[in-house]
Amino acid sequence: MNNPFTGSGVALVTPFHKDGSIDFDALKKLVQLQIDGGTDFLVVQGTTGESPTLSQDEKMQVLQTVMDVNQGKLKIVYGVGGNNTLAVGENLKKVPAGVDGILSVSPYYNKPIQKGIIEHYKYIASCTDLPIILYNVPGRTGSNVLPETTITLAEIPNIVAMKEASGSMEQIMEIIRLRKPDFGVLSGDDAITMPLIAAGADGVISVVANAFPEKFSKMVHASMEGDLDKARKEHYDLLPITKMFFEEGNPGGVKVALAVRGIMEENMRLPLFPVSDGLRARITLETNNLLGI
């Protein structure tokens, strides 16, 4: 199975009302912004979507809303991961038609050895026919999926790509060097997406592109086409706000920018908490600068 997920992917945030309920009208506006802004595929209920705080019913309602607005225009990847292998497998069996792929994070908190990670993914891959994107984010999981583990997992037919958020250019380039031609490597760090694509990566699953799909997709596509002058311009235009978005955790920062754009309110569910007034003011100013307001 070849990797069908390339270019500018967006890890969609979940909009909330002040009372904590999901703001489905704002979600619809967000999806339309991505369709109009040049995004290539959508990721629903990743970490950026605050998935740990949503019930299974709420996740399905969010997914259905995204599919209803999308109408097949962009590929949809659905986040199904966890540290209980059997439970992840059962959840995969319930994924509805209309989903194009799965993003599944390496098991967190348990801190499995590499062999345990391999067996986890072998099992969950047997529970679905959909293409699976692996997700390595050691800062959240407490363990690192080593390049040789990724290459081993790439032999499983429906494991098609790795979202790499280790932050290690050396590690990611080693995967690119060793992979088979049809296995995708996607950046999981917005700030290093442009250099990673220049090094051979196939795209990104982005946080920043929630708020700036137009500029971010320009940067990604220019990088993929080898137009590095154009890619560098967009990269350095976005770099200051990219840093701001992650200063006080994700997705608090990007929700400020989305509020400035009139897409949604900044609300999040506990234990996440809105950003400080000082950071909000800086993000607001930079968002207006980027939008030419």
Catalytic positions are: 135, 163
Q: Which two tokens stand for residue 141?
A: 């999981």
Nearest to 79 by CA among 34, 47, 120: 47
Give phi and psi for 7, each to the nearest 5: 85, -145
d(CA 137, CA 33): 27
Residues 6+ apart with CB under 8 A from 230: 218, 222
Residue with tokens 């390595």: 136
DSSP secondary structure letter of residue 41: E
Angstrom distance (rounded) from CA 256 to CA 274: 9
Sign for the pseudo-dihedral over CA of 263, 61, 14, 144: negative
Q: CA–CA separation, 202 vs 207, rounded Å?
A: 17
Q: Would you report the helix, strand and coil content of the chain in percent, each value rounded to 5?
A: 50, 15, 40
Alpha-carbon radius of gyration of the chain:
18
CA distance 106 to 283: 31
Distance CA 109, CA 107 (A): 7
Q: Contact 28/63 with Cβ under 8 angstroms?
A: no
